[in-house]
Amino acid sequence: MRLEVTTDIGRLGDLEVLAQELQDQAGTFARRTPSIHGVLGLCLRSLPAEVNRRSFTRFDRRGDALDIDLSVPEESLGGATVDQQRELMGSELRGLLTSGFASRAAPWTAEQRSLLRTAGEELLQSIGWVNGRRQRATRRLSAGHALAEVSNDTGLPLGEVEDLYADLITRTDTTVNR
């Protein structure tokens, strides 16, 4: 299956960079899904929250294409690091891929659907959109590793690791106090 990525860039965020990360994996995705004809078309959008644009999936039989339109509010991306944007987009895209690959309109066999789910998950993991640096850092912090060590091991700036640690402590305090 061929992977094609496009973006509708808003004022905030790094969607162009993120779209390129996905597009760079098109060859790998196609090699993982050789028995499946057609196109997986992904469009990444960031629009003002007031537009209230919803993400959607649609299988087009005529074009033999699964179209996924992922739309996030610009305000969710503004001020976020690229890694934070990857987490947000990865979480959203993972859900859309799951529902898209389950489309009844698509002529895929159960085996092909399973292959698509696996290839989609591998795609997201390979570019750090799922189980990326921030998630690995959070797990290491939860296990008691030192902040500087986590920063060095994950490649995240120390300030971002400190923010993750503060969030982790806040969540832990909130859970304990309930």
Q: How many Å apart are CA 86 and CA 21, to the nearest integer?
A: 10
Average pLDDT over residues 44-64: 92
For residue 53, the 8-state DSSP code is P
Rounded to the nearest angstrom, the gap between the alpha carbon of residue 147 and the centroid of all alpha carbons in its chain is 25
- Specify the 3-state DSSP secondary structure of 172: helix
CATH of the domain at 28: 3.40.390
Domain match, 117 and 101 both: yes
Domain match, 10 and 77 both: yes
Asked if the model's pLDDT at residue 176 lies above 60, the reply is no
pLDDT value at position 61? 92
Asked if the model's pLDDT at residue 136 lies above 80, the reply is no
pLDDT value at position 12? 67
In this structure, which long-range contacts are made by residues 151-158, counting pairs with CB atoms below 8 Å and at least 24 apart in sequence? Answer: 156/83
Extract the tokens encoding 18. 């993120």
Q: Which residues make Cβ contacts (< 8 Å) with residue 152, sequence separation at least 6?
A: none
**Residue in 122, 116, 124, 48 with CA at minimum distance from that of residue 86:** 124
**Band of pLDDT at residue 3, cut at 50, 70 and 90:** very high
Q: Which domain holds residue 89?
A: 2-126
Mean pLDDT of the chain: 89
Asked if the model's pLDDT at residue 177 lies above 60, the reply is no
Number of domains in the chain: 2
pLDDT value at position 11? 66
Buried b (16+ CB within 10 A) or exposed e, 99-113: ebbeeeebebeeebe
Average pLDDT over residues 143-151: 89
pLDDT value at position 173? 64
Domain match, 68 and 6 both: yes
DSSP β-bridge partners for residue 6: 43
- Specify the 3-state DSSP secondary structure of 66: strand
Extract the tokens encoding 103. 């489309």
Rounded to the nearest angstrom, the gap between the alpha carbon of residue 100 and the centroid of all alpha carbons in its chain is 15
**Residue in 7, 127, 133 with CA at minimum distance from that of residue 74:** 7
Domain match, 72 and 89 both: yes
pLDDT value at position 174? 61
Residue 172: other Cβ atoms inside 10 A: 11
Domain match, 157 and 103 both: no
Start-to-end CA distance of the chain, whole Å, equals 48
Average pLDDT over residues 40-57: 92
pLDDT value at position 175? 58
Q: Which of 56-60, 72-76, 149-153 has the highest mean pLDDT?
A: 56-60
